[in-house]
Structure 1
Amino acid sequence: MKTICFYFQIHQPFRLKRYRFFDIGNDHYYYDDFNNEEIMSRIAHRSYIPANYTLLEMIKNSNGKFKVAFSISGVALEQFEIYVPEFIDSMRDLAKTGCVEFLSETYAHSLASLKDPEEFVDQVKMHDDKIEMLFGQRPKVFRNTELIYSDEIAGMVASMGFKGCITEGAKHILGWKSPNYLYSSAAAPKLKLLLKNSKLSDDISFRFSNYEWNEYPLTADKFINWITALPETEQIINLFMNYETLGELQPRETGIFEFMKALPRFAEEKGISFSTPAEIISKLKPVDSLSVTYPISWADEERDTSAWLGNLLQNEAFEKLYSMAERVRLCNDRRLKQDWNYLQASDHFYYMCTKHFSDGAVHSHYSPYDSPYEAFTNYMNVLSDFIVRVKAQYPDSIENEELNSLITTIRNQASEIELLRKELKSAKAEKIARVKAEKAVAGESKTKSATKKTVVKEK
């Protein structure tokens, strides 16, 4: 029986204000609060909140048969808490249905997996702690920023205990194979892979309201019939997209919400179910393994990482940012660590993309800058001030070798403290057990003594 796996990405960065060269060293606050609040409030009320109500209605009307998965970045959750707390409440209502799964990702929606394994692991844990605190779920399936994936990343994901990962069904990786199956990673065989069906996902995300599309208008029964017509052995249809599709990229006036509401009814008529990623991974076995030597993503025609790291501007900013990683991890300055998270958001590098016009139009749609060069200049000004603050705590006079030695010492101390803590816990447990045993022996002696006295009295 065929099953549809709906997954939505929710992410919004902390956008930077216009930060001049002369601000470096003088102004340590980098964010455009007015713009961030306006964008978050507008998208939440046009898209996220109405979409939540729509999905909740779909779950109730289908008696829990409709299911869906979300990944929400930590930096987006922080902004929801500040600007649109009612979104958090509506998402909790969805979580209570038991039909919603929350996926793991990096807290900052960062590119750390491509550069810094330690930072990557730290951010995943930080993100999952946030999800568990807000929604009472500990994510079991991983999705990386913009579905970025490779064999190397698979190894890191598997080592963190995840059993599944979702990514792009890139044609240059699949070849003749279909994305409508469950696969496993060649690098980490126990890690199962769910691949995006790009054609069907993009029919909803980008073509739904396109009058020039030869399949316009797209109706729920037509869409379900396309899925029904797929080969019988192709059992999983992964529809992965940005949540802004519902209400923002495809405005309410296009009928997108009515389209979504009708899907469960037509799916049930055709014997098609809905499943979360964790359910699919637990029920089905992979049909084959996939090797991905170079990182893939769901962006642009190339389905690679060139949208973020495809030019000299992006790479210079990227390298300069992560050159501070070890120093930031040593500090305990809350504001500095917060800025470190916000500056890692992949969006900052996306705004610097200089691809040809057809792709550039897509990139400029999301950018608050007039050009990639303006994005680069503004980001580097901010980054320069950030680096000044980091080096004020850990200056250049501390060489990398000395810094690494210091980090090793701190880690060793942390390991020793943890070992001593375990020994203390074990000693306490032994002492409690010993005291209980002594009390038990003493109690037994008293009982025997009392029994002897009773026997003597009876005589």
Structure 2
Amino acid sequence: MKAICFYFQVHQPFRYRRYRFFDIGNDHYYYDDYANETILRKVADHCYLPVNKLMLELINKYKGKFKVAFSITGVALEQFEMYAPEVLESFQELAKTGQVEFLAETYSHSLVALKSKSLFQEQVTKHCDAIQHYFGQRPTVFRNTEMVYSDDIGVAAAEMGFQAVLTEGAKHILGWKSPNFLYCNAVNPRLKVLMRNYKLSDDMAFRFSNQAWNEYPLTPQKLVGWMNGDSNEEIFNLFMDYETFGEHQSEKTGIFRFLEELPDAVFKQKDFVFATPSEIIEEFQPVSAVSVPHAISWADEERDLTAWLGNEMQQEAFDKLYELTDRMAKVDDPALNKDWNFLQVSDHFYYMSTKFFSDGEVHNYFNPYESPYEAFINYMNVLSDFKLRLNTFVPESELEVRLAELNKVLEEKEEKLKKYESEIARLQTRKKKKKTATKPKTSSTKEKSKK
């Protein structure tokens, strides 16, 4: 038996407005509501709604034989509720079929696994709670942000009770090995590892409409033929952004028709089935451990972290953000915690990337900034204001404790002054009215009254 594992990432960040230096300390609202709603509605109309409808039709048509998996970030779920509740309902309809698995990841689509184990666990738990709330499933398979994975991250996921993780089948990790088998974590063999077949996945996600590609056009029969080429291989992990359908590859390219015809082409091969990640780990045995001492991802040609942490701007912003971790653990203010979660969204660091060459077009997708330097300045301005707000809850040093106390005293005195000024103005108005009422009549007025 050969299994095809279809997995899709669903994510939309909360984008920031142009936050100027002079806004720091004066305006604590950071978000570009218009852009966030406009972009989400655009992607919903082009991708989420029509493709969810198609997925539901395929599941019903093939009566339990067609299966897919999703991970939907917490920030995307929040935007669905705010801007497009019908999208959330369409995913819930898919969940009711029992043929769709929802995976866990970090709630904020963050890179927190690289910085704090406790905060990582907190975010993943929050995301699992959200998935259970919306879709009635408690995830048992984990997919980290952008498929960032290492042996240590795998161990952390296993400690949280996950049975498997998804990651990139990077060539420099697998070497001569094929991604088309099930593997296990090198430190904790109980954790299974599903490796993405990046060639077949990218054929659909990036090369599908490229007429210069020597395999253009890609057809369902051609894709199945490639998968059927080696009789020894067992699993074909086709992992991609959900926006591949209708957004990265528009409907006019034929991508919807391709997806619609793919199951039929697959089922004509008697040994092929579709399977969710949980079914994969139940049906197949790991062929060996896979060692990943340094973190990998599914981004760009290097499959590393340079898309988010490849230059000094990204590293400085990333380090400055997570310097606040211990202090934020002492804060229970809902507004501050919400902004803290959204500050961690990995897209903010992605916008600062200076990789303009082979991967430049990818880095410009829905990028609200004209340059990575503008992205850095805007983010650091937001972070500066956020730190000022944090200082009012948890001062950073003894000096700031004293400053916070003095600011509080000044605020109280300013409030009293405003109260006194208001009272003085009220008394002056009252006195003026009283004086006008008691003012003696003029002689002409007296004469008129005598007449």
Report the TM range for the smaller structure's normalisation: 0.7 to 0.9
**In the alignment, which residue of structure 2 is the partner of 1:236?**
235
Residues 131-172 of structure 1 deviation map (CA, whole Å, 9 limit, x = unaligned):
100000000100000000001101100100001000000000
**In the alignment, which residue of structure 1 is the partner of 2:70?**
70
Distance 2:6 2:362 in 1: 23
Superposed, which structure 2 residues align to 1:274-313 within 5 Å? 274-313=274-313
**In the alignment, which residue of structure 2 is the partner of 1:411?**
none
Q: Secondary structure at the match of 1:237?
A: strand
The reply to whether residue 149 of structure 1 matches residue 149 of structure 2 is: yes
Superposed, which structure 2 residues align to 1:342-421 within 5 Å? 342-397=342-397
Distance 1:398 1:236 in 2: 58
Gaps (5+ residues) in structure 1? 400-459
**In the alignment, which residue of structure 2 is the partner of 1:10?**
10
Residues 185-217 of structure 1 deviation map (CA, whole Å, 9 limit, x = unaligned):
101111000000000000100111111111111
Distance 1:210 1:106 in 2: 33
Letter in 1 for 2:195: L
Distance 1:343 1:333 in 2: 15
Q: Secondary structure at the match of 2:195?
A: strand
Letter in 1 for 2:237: N
Letter in 2 for 1:377: I
**In the alignment, which residue of structure 1 is the partner of 2:258?**
259
Distance 1:253 1:189 in 2: 45
Distance 2:163 2:398 in 1: 41
Letter in 1 for 2:205: S
Residues 390-417 of structure 1 deviation map (CA, whole Å, 9 limit, x = unaligned):
1111112259xxxxxxxxxxxxxxxxxx
Letter in 2 for 1:207: R
Q: Which moved more, 1:260-269 or 1:344-353?
A: 260-269
**1:95: how far off?**
0.5
Q: Which moved more, 1:30-39 or 1:207-216?
A: 207-216
Residues 254-290 of structure 1 deviation map (CA, whole Å, 9 limit, x = unaligned):
1111111111111111121000000001121100001
Confirm or deny: 8 A CA contact 1:353 1:360 kept in the other structure. Answer: no
Q: Which moved more, 1:389-398 or 1:162-171?
A: 389-398
Q: Which moved more, 1:122-131 or 1:355-364?
A: 355-364
Distance 1:227 1:374 in 2: 44
Q: Secondary structure at the match of 1:213?
A: coil
Q: Secondary structure at the match of 1:366?
A: coil
Q: Secondary structure at the match of 1:212?
A: coil
**In the alignment, which residue of structure 1 is the partner of 2:135?**
135
**In the alignment, which residue of structure 1 is the partner of 2:217?**
217
Q: Secondary structure at the match of 1:12?
A: coil
Distance 2:366 2:303 in 1: 18
**In the alignment, which residue of structure 1 is the partner of 2:415?**
none
Q: Secondary structure at the match of 2:142?
A: strand
The number of residue pairs the alignment matches comes to 398
Q: Secondary structure at the match of 1:28?
A: coil
Q: Secondary structure at the match of 1:167?
A: strand
**1:365: how far off?**
2.7
Distance 2:362 2:216 in 1: 22
**In the alignment, which residue of structure 1 is the partner of 2:115?**
115
Gaps (5+ residues) in structure 2? 400-451
**In the alignment, which residue of structure 1 is the partner of 2:442?**
none
Letter in 2 for 1:317: A
Q: Secondary structure at the match of 2:380?
A: helix
Q: Secondary structure at the match of 1:132?
A: helix
Confirm or deny: 8 A CA contact 1:208 1:216 kept in the other structure. Answer: yes
**1:58: how far off?**
0.8
Residues 29-78 of structure 1 deviation map (CA, whole Å, 9 limit, x = unaligned):
00000000000000011001111011111111111100000000000100
Q: Secondary structure at the match of 2:157?
A: helix
Higher gyration radius (CA): 2
**1:382: how far off?**
0.2
Q: Secondary structure at the match of 2:395?
A: coil
Distance 2:137 2:287 in 1: 29
Calculate the TM-score normalised by the size of structure 1. Answer: 0.86
Confirm or deny: 8 A CA contact 1:163 1:192 kept in the other structure. Answer: yes
With over 3 angstroms needed to count, the CA separation of the structure-2 counterparts of 1:37 and 1:296, relative to structure 1, is same
Q: Secondary structure at the match of 1:105?
A: coil
Residues 211-238 of structure 1 deviation map (CA, whole Å, 9 limit, x = unaligned):
1111111111111111111x22211000
**1:329: how far off?**
1.5
**1:328: how far off?**
1.1
**1:366: how far off?**
3.4
Letter in 2 for 1:91: F
Q: Which moved more, 1:219-228 or 1:66-75?
A: 219-228
Letter in 2 for 1:47: C
Letter in 1 for 2:101: E
Q: Secondary structure at the match of 1:222?
A: helix
**In the alignment, which residue of structure 2 is the partner of 1:412?**
none
Q: Secondary structure at the match of 1:365?
A: coil
Q: Secondary structure at the match of 1:294?
A: coil
RMSD of the alignment, in Å?
A: 0.9
Letter in 2 for 1:247: G
Letter in 1 for 2:60: K
Distance 1:93 1:336 in 2: 34
Q: Secondary structure at the match of 1:165?
A: strand
The reply to whether residue 40 of structure 1 matches residue 40 of structure 2 is: yes
Calculate the TM-score normalised by the size of structure 2. Answer: 0.87
Superposed, which structure 2 residues align to 1:93-112 within 5 Å? 93-112=93-112
**1:356: how far off?**
4.0
